[in-house]
């Protein structure tokens, strides 16, 4: 029995799928399957029921996963204790970031971490905030920079780095450009340009629209904030953005604060409690890069 076999078993149990589990542990699906079959042979019982569309645990598998989690946690604590004594780090750090991220302090932190800990292989994944949060919860990511509505996801450790209001931004010749403050009702009849569902800004906006009970037309979506701004600057609609993003395009767009969208759009680093030594070291660099206490 090897620790990697236990890691693969836990991954399959949590993902309920051999392919996703293989992606999570960064080896082939056949490799995961072979190692779990070897573990089943060593333990003398089937651990995974492969007869359905999803991989489910047998009764023996449920018992094994419980102990596997304890053994993996003990091994992680052992590594962390040794790392704290020796000051040396190795292994892998998996970091997630929101699609089209332009938050340079995150890149500064990655560069500083790589310089200080060249023995750690860094993997970077880009996706929407909802998917990144799922990956942090499952252990596929050590840490992620996500957008959130008002507060970070529950049951995860978090470090907010940016919190700001939403604005409506349009061409400077647009009729709304005479206003410095707007309400959601003012946007009725305007084609809107938004980030897709699953992003922090869109979640804040959708929640506010639902609470206000207004009907608005999201005509266009783009995955990158810069693309949303560019489409609005070309006259295709009114962009829903954060204050900072809109300010970066102030030469082409007029932005007005949305008064009745009171929940701020939040950018936050999230990770599971008891981070790995590599994740803890990276968080130290993030605090420095974002100038946080």
What total of structural domains would you count in the chain? 3
Which range in 87-91, 169-173, 289-293 is most confidently predicted, on average pLDDT?
169-173
CATH assignment of the domain containing 255: 3.40.190.10
* pLDDT exceeds cutoff 90 at 214: yes
246-256: per-residue pLDDT in tens?
Answer: 999 999 999 99
Residue 123 belongs to domain spanning: 89-161+270-289
Asked whether residue 97 falls in the same domain as residue 231, the answer is no
For position 100, what pLDDT does the model report? 83
Of the candidates 286, 292, 241, the residue with the CA atom closest to the CA atom of residue 110 = 286
* pTM flag (> 0.85): no
For the record, the structure tokens of 20 come out as 């996703």
Asked whether residue 202 falls in the same domain as residue 246, the answer is yes
* pLDDT exceeds cutoff 60 at 88: no
pLDDT confidence of 166, banded at 50, 70, 90? very high
140-154: per-residue pLDDT in tens?
Answer: 899 999 999 988 898
For the record, the structure tokens of 147 come out as 């957008």
Beta bridge partners of 169: 239, 255
Asked whether residue 80 falls in the same domain as residue 113, the answer is no
């Amino acid at each position: 029995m090897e620790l990697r076999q236990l890691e693969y078993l836990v991954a399959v149990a949590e993902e309920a799928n051999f392919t996703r589990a293989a992606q999570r542990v960064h080896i082939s699906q056949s490799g995961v399957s072979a190692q779990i079959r070897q573990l089943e042979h060593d333990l003398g019982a089937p651990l995974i029921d492969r007869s359905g569309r999803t991989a489910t645990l047998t009764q023996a598998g449920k018992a094994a996963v419980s102990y596997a989690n304890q053994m993996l946690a003990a091994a992680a604590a052992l590594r962390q204790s040794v790392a704290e004594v020796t000051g040396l780090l190795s292994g892998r750090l998996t970091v997630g970031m929101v699609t089209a991220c332009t938050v340079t302090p995150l890149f500064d932190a990655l560069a500083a971490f790589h310089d200080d800990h060249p023995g750690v292989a860094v993997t970077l994944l880009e996706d929407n905030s909802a998917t990144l949060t799922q990956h942090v919860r499952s252990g596929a990511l050590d840490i992620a920079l996500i957008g959130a509505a008002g507060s970070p996801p529950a049951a995860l450790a978090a470090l907010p780095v940016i919190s700001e209001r939403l604005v409506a931004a349009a061409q400077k010749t647009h009729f709304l450009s005479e206003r410095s403050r707007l309400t959601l009702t003012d946007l009725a009849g305007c084609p809107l340009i938004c980030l897709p569902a699953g992003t922090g800004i869109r979640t804040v906006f959708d929640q506010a629209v639902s609470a206000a009970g207004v009907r608005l037309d999201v005509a266009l979506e783009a995955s990158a904030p810069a693309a949303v701004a560019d489409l609005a600057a070309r006259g295709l609609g009114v962009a829903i953005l954060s204050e900072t993003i809109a300010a970066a395009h102030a030469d082409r767009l007029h932005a007005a604060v949305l008064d009745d969208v009171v929940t701020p759009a939040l950018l936050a680093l999230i990770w599971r409690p008891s981070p790995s030594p590599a994740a803890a070291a990276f968080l130290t660099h993030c605090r420095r890069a974002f100038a946080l206490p």
